[in-house]
Structure 1
Amino acid sequence: MARLADPAASRVVLVGGARYTHLRALPTVANNVDELAAIFTDPELWGLPAGNCTVVRDPQSPQDIDTALAAAAGSVRPDGLLLFYFAGHGLIDPLTGALHLAVTGTNRNMVHSTATPFEWVRRWFLNAPAGARVVILDCCYSGRATEGMGEPAAIADEVEIDRTCVLVAAPANRTALAPPGERFTAFTGVLIDVMRAGLPGGPALLDMDTLYRRAEQTQHARNRPLPQLRARNGGERIPLVRNLAAVAGAGDEETEPPAPPPRIPLPRPGDVFTPTDELDYDEETGGPYGPVAVLAYDQRLGALGVRLGRPVQRPPGDVLGDRRLATALGPAEVRDGGPVSGVVLVVAELKRGARGIPGARRLSGSLVTLPLGTEPGLVAETVRRAWVFVGYLGWRPGQLEAELAQRALVPSPEPLTSWLDRQADRPLDRRSDHDR
């Protein structure tokens, strides 16, 4: 029968990044770590000694997180639990695709040197002698998909650690971490509510699977992004706290699984979606996100798309790095396609009766995505007009479908051509990484 880890043998590290020099502040994150520390040290729930619970508020450097992990991993015992929790900004290194955890001074243009690589967390967990290991991440991050619709790894797959249970909030890359007016961040708030109040009809001990299922069910009901769980060798059965609402003798009962999301039509290249309140905040620019267009979709691999409403004040030739191609495209408008930088995409409208372009992917009507290596002479013959996008959006497998099912994104009644014809919201001076 499952039992709680020995509190005296366990170590917990809670990291909360609420204040940043270059990133948006997340004030409710401070409440997250304080309340979780109170829960884990509560004798009625677990009784972790206060000295075994390290709270790192607003880490100033990557080494602050590394030092706390080193101490915890070095002192946890085989009969104990090693738990690491992080709430704050998560950033993807555009060159390596690796997840980094932001600290106070993190600069999104220097992620590799100003943020904590998640690989540091993985190293400490792999070497720790703990009998039970748990990682919980509650952070926004920039989604990614490789060029040409290679496999876009889900964030939970990126942070999977052998012999460790990993629970990830997995918000979309456009979702605000903390809903206005709420005391805690959306995902952690659910965990706190369940651990504090208990789960009527649930098991005597609230394990990772029970917490995950309740978080998934609650987030689905609130039209919020769904969490992900990765566990091996029974890691999902690791209990964290006692269930204060458990009925005597019902300790082994299972909670009801969440209702499946409603069936929706699969998205298609060329579809345009507009965000509702849940996705109406751009983590990168601090403004409304606006409409997005799907440029590529595969049910197994995920989706790739671009924002439609943000112009960039740069000549197409500078962005493309090919003056001949820019001349062949004509007066193309440059727009900011999304937070995943270092990639340029071209949407082109073909002339009536024009022959096909090798490698072009059809979107809708006469619109296609144009390979950047297309011969300029062929472009001049076949392309009527074009739009150049700097950066893109990536959806992991099932993520776009979930956002549609939750109505975080809704289909636009207007076709892609109408959105492309519109004047975009406001100009930006966006430069790709190699131009900085």
Structure 2
Amino acid sequence: MRLPDGAHSRALLIGTGAYEHLPGVPASRNNVRALADTLQQRTGLPPGHCRRLLDPPDLAAVGREVEEATGAATDLLLVYYSGHGLIDSGGKLHLALPQTSQRLLPWSGIPFEFLHQAIQQSAAATKVLILDCCFSGIATELLGGEEGAIMGQIRVTGTFTLTSSPANSPSYAFEGRRHTAFTEALLALLEEGSPRAARMLTLNDVYLELLRNAREHGLPLPQKCGTHTADLLPLAENRYQTPVDTAPVAPPPVVSAPESWSAIAGATAPYPRTPADPEWPPVQPFLTEDDVRNVLFKTVRLSDGYDEDEVDAFLDKVIAAMREPMALDQRMLPDEIRRSEFTTTRLREGYDIDEVDTFLDRVELEFERRLAWTAKHAEADREGRAL
């Protein structure tokens, strides 16, 4: 695996922090500045190929930058937005600009379908879309059962899409913090790495680490859309596996979530990621045997799906493995789940690919927890101490 080719890659980072009709999100501007610096240092993008667009004045200004980035990228195209995400009366997603208002939403924001189309038409080999915004905002009452429709809007062919929260959930904010919760976790991961990933941080590693962080700190759970193939693409070197010097580095402090949250797009959360983290592995499972047994996937026909029999047979193996006591050697390892492959169907019914992939991410996370629990208790037994 290799890092993106900086000469043929482009990143466009959009941050809207000041609004005329919505609460301000100053952390969005900080997000863009910090992420641009981190991508240049960790991903190898030259400064001229990593564009920052702060508080763009109108849709035309955004369009010019999007067209430039999507047209120039032939290796990696990464588009990031931080700010408010709003839903119009027709269930369409819009990314807010400084002058955006709910009343004039279709005329004053960035219609997501415009961005969707531009990314889809890019010749870039790898397309990464990151949305750090609230899908509900002041339009929460319009969402209802629209999660499927909203997530459908952000499924771009050939693209790995990562969002800070589900379609029916706001992205929370800590008052007075420098970065949003989601982006601070992303920045920390790129800067510090992960003890659970290999030498390269793949897009799937990024998603799983952000998912762990959200679960551990009570944050909205990140969502992703992308195939297993896209998941395996490397974004940056894993700094945990590639130390830059021999000086000891103090682990980041564990900070508890405050009593009150602000339901606007933005702010920060702690991101403790060290092997000695006392919170890992958590005692409570990420999902149970019953969750696996009772899962229901949407079926599709005349579009790509996973063979139902193959998926069901694999989940039967998962259930059998979950019945094994964690004190014993595990019969199924996270890597086996990560590398699982199924025959695709089109003329006959199959399971929705994104739903299966997303569920298997949760299964993988649970087996990483089980593996870590087994190792931790085995070490305690060798040292003759109780946990």
**TM-score if structure 1 supplies the norm length?**
0.54
Alpha-carbon distance between aligned partners in 1 of 2:77 and 2:60, rounded to the nearest angstrom = 19
Q: SS where residue 56 of structure 1 aligns?
A: strand
**Is 1:109–2:103 an aligned residue pair?**
yes
Displacement after TM superposition at 1:105 (Å): 0.4
* Distance of 2:160 and 2:85 partners within structure 1: 19
Contact 1:157 1:230 in 2 (8 A): no
**Corresponding position: 1:128 with 2:125:** no
Does the residue aligned with 2:130 lie in a helix, a strand or coil? strand
Matched with 1:32 is 31
Cα pair distance change 1:236/1:174, threshold 3 Å: closer
Deviations 1:107-158 (A, max 9, x none): 11111000001111111111111011100000012176889x7664264333
Percent identity over the alignment is 32
Indicate the residue corresponding to 1:221 in structure 2.
216
Q: Which residue does 1:89 correspond to in 2?
A: 84
Q: What residue number does 1:180 align with?
A: 175
Map 1:286-435 → 2, pairs under 5 A: none
Q: Which residue of 2 aligns with 1:164?
A: 159
Contact 1:215 1:227 in 2 (8 A): yes
Aligned to 1:100: 94
User: How far off is 1:22 after superposition?
Assistant: 0.6
What is the deviation of 1:176? 5.4
Q: What are the Cα deviations for residues 31-56 of structure 1, in whole angstroms up to 9, with x where unaligned?
A: 111111101111xx222111111100
Task: Supply the AA of the counterpart residue of 1:180.
Answer: E
Task: Give the secondary structure class of the aligned counterpart of 1:209.
Answer: helix
8 Å CA contact retained: 1:201, 1:247: no
Which contiguous aligned blocks of 4+ residues in structure 1 show a shift greater than 6 angstroms?
A: 143-147
Distance 1:76 1:197 in 2: 27
**Deviation per residue, 1:90-113 (Å, 9 max, x gap):** 11111x211011001001111100
Instruction: Find the residue that maps to 2:178 and give its secondary structure.
Output: coil
Q: Is the 8 A contact 2:166 2:220 kept in 1?
A: yes
CA contact (8 A) 2:91 2:150 kept: no
Q: Partners in 1 of 2:175 and 2:217 — Cα distance?
A: 14
CA distance in 2, matches of 1:167, 1:144: 21
- Describe the shift of the 1:164–1:215 C-alpha distance in structure 2 as closer, same or farther (beyond 3 A): same
Q: Does 1:58 align with 2:55?
A: yes
2:68 maps to a residue whose letter is A
Take 2:142 and 2:170, find their aligned partners in 1: how far apart are those partners?
21
The CA deviation at 1:215 is 0.5
5+ residue gaps, structure 1, are 249-275, 285-298, 302-397, 399-436
The equivalent of 1:16 in structure 2 is 15
Q: Which has the higher strand share?
A: 1
Higher-Rg member (1/2): 1
Compared CA separation, residues 71 and 224, structure 1 to 2 (3 A): same
- Render the CA deviation track for 1:353-400: whole Å, top value 9, x for unaligned: xxxxxxxxxxxxxxxxxxxxxxxxxxxxxxxxxxxxxxxxxxxxx9xx
- Structure-2 change in CA distance of 1:30 and 1:177 (3 Å): farther
Unmatched runs of 5 consecutive residues or more in structure 2: 244-257, 266-294, 298-357, 359-387
- Which secondary structure does the structure 1 equivalent of 2:18 belong to? coil
Cα deviation, 1:324-379, whole Å, max 9, x if unaligned, reads xxxxxxxxxxxxxxxxxxxxxxxxxxxxxxxxxxxxxxxxxxxxxxxxxxxxxxxx
1:239 aligns with 2:239: no
Conserved? CA contact 2:14–2:81, under 8 Å: yes
1:113, 1:144 → 2: CA distance? Answer: 20
| Whole-angstrom CA distance in 2 between matches of 1:228 and 1:34 | 24
SS in 1 for 2:148: coil
Residue identity opposite 1:141 in structure 2: F
The 3 A distance-change label for structure 1 pair 174 and 199 is: closer
